[in-house]
Amino acid sequence: MTGGDSATPQPKRGQAGWQDPGPRDVLRDRQNPDLLTPPTTDAGTLPNLRFSFSDAHTRVQRGGWTREVTVRELPIATELCGVDMALEPGAYREMHWHKQSEWAYVSHGGARISAVDQEGRNFLGDVRAGDLWFFPQGVPHHIQALDEGVEFLLVFDDGAFTENSTFLISDYFAHTPRDVLAKNFGWRPEQLDSIPEREKYIFAGEVPPPLDRDRVVSPTGDVPRTLSHRLLAQEPQRFPGGQVRIADVTRFAASTTICAALVEVDPGGMRELHWHPTDDEWQYYLSGHGRMGVFASQGVAGTFDMRAGDVGYVPFAYGHYIENLGTEPLVFLEMFRKPRFESVSLTQWMANTPPQVSADILNLPRELIEALPRDQRPVIR
C-alpha cells in the first residue's frame, strides 16, 4: 500500500505528523493505532507493556503445543510470566514439578489434574473452561486432556521462569543410573529397559476413565484445601459497565502466592482509573479489543492497544485504565503475585477526601466532586 492510500492509517493528527510512505506493516499499524498516532495526553517513553502470544515461539509436540511469555519476550514483566498450552484429547503434560507456584485458567475444553504434597496427601479432579487450579512450588503434579482436548493459561510467580526448566519425571529417570532406580523401587534392572531416554514433556495418550476409577486413596488422606476452583460459579460483582469476579485467598484458599480478577467490560465501558498498592499486574486478554492507558508519574504516560491473546503488564503503583473499543465484551484476567486482591480507585479516593480539596487542585466546581460515588466501582460505563 502506498502512503497516500486513504485506507492506510497515517501518523497524522490534524496538522501534526505526516504520511509514512513505507516500508511498513500496515496490518500492525491498524491493530495498534494508539502507537502509530498516540493520544495527545501520552508523553515521554514507557517500556513496552504489551506482548502477543501470537508473536511467541510455539513448541509443537505429538499431543499438543505450548508457548510462553517471560522476561525474555516482555522484559518489564519481572514478577509473573505465562504459558499458553493446548493438549489433544487424552494427551499428557507429564508428571513434573517447579521451583515456582503454578496458577492456571482453563480457556477451552477440560482436563484431569492431580498432585501429591510433601505429606503424601493427594488431589485428583477434573477442570473445565472457566476453572482455575493452583499447585504450590515444589508440589508434583500432572495434567491430562479430557475428551474435548484442553487449552489453558499457566501463570508462574517469577517473570524469568521458563517451561523448559521444569523438573520432569521422565527426565529424572533418564538421568539416574538404572541400578539406583531398581534399588529405590525394588525392581530388577532389566525391568527398566523401556524407560524414556529423554524427557517426554507433552505426549499423546488415551482419554482418562471416569474420575472415580482413577482415584487413589492415600493413607495420609486428601490435600487439606482443594487445588481447583470454579471461578465462573462465583456470583460476579455487577456494575453498569460490566462485571468482575475476584479469586484471591479469601475465595480460593489454596492459591497463596497468586490472585486474580476476571473482568468483563461491556461495549462502551471501561475498567476505571485505578492502581494497585502492593504489586505489579500481569494481564491476559481472552476476547474483544480495547486500549490501556498507563500513567507512570513524572509526566510520563502511554497508551497500548490490546486484543485477544495479548499479555499486558502494569508496574506497581502505575495509574491505568482499560477501555472497551469494540462491539463485544472485552474480557481479561488481572493477576498479581500476592494472596489478596487490592486496588485503589481514583474516583473513590476523591469522593472520600474533603471535596473542596479536589475542587481546588483540579479547578473543578465543588458540586462535581460531591456527586462522585463513595464506593468502589471497578467497571464503569
From the candidates 190, 206, 334, 342, which is the catalytic residue?
A: 334
Question: Is 148 labeled as catalytic in the residue annotation?
Answer: no
Please tell me the predicted confidence (pLDDT) of residue 97: 98
Please tell me the predicted confidence (pLDDT) of residue 4: 47
Cα 358 to Cα 363: distance, rounded to the nearest angstrom: 8
Please tell me the predicted confidence (pLDDT) of residue 7: 78
Tens-digit pLDDT profile for residues 316-349: 999 999 999 999 999 999 999 999 999 999 999 9
Cα 152 to Cα 171: distance, rounded to the nearest angstrom: 24
Please tell me the predicted confidence (pLDDT) of residue 5: 56
Domains and their CATH numbers in the chain: 56-229 (2.60.120.10), 234-380 (2.60.120.10)
Number of Cβ within 10 Å of residue 320's Cβ equals 24
| 3-class SS string, 70-126 | CCCCCCCCCCCEEEEEEECCCCEEEEEECCCCEEEEEEEEEEEEEEECCCCCEEEEE
Cell of 365: 466546581
Q: Which residues are annotated as a binding site for Mn(2+)?
A: 96, 98, 102, 141, 274, 276, 281, 320
Q: Residues in the chain with pLDDT < 70?
A: 1-6
Please tell me the predicted confidence (pLDDT) of residue 6: 59
User: Closest Cα to residue 152, out of 336, 333, 338, 340?
Assistant: 333
Q: What is the pTM of this model?
A: 0.95
Tens-digit pLDDT profile for residues 49-97: 999 999 999 999 999 999 999 999 999 999 999 999 999 999 999 999 9
Please tell me the predicted confidence (pLDDT) of residue 104: 98
Q: Which residues are annotated as a binding site?
A: 96, 98, 102, 141, 274, 276, 281, 320
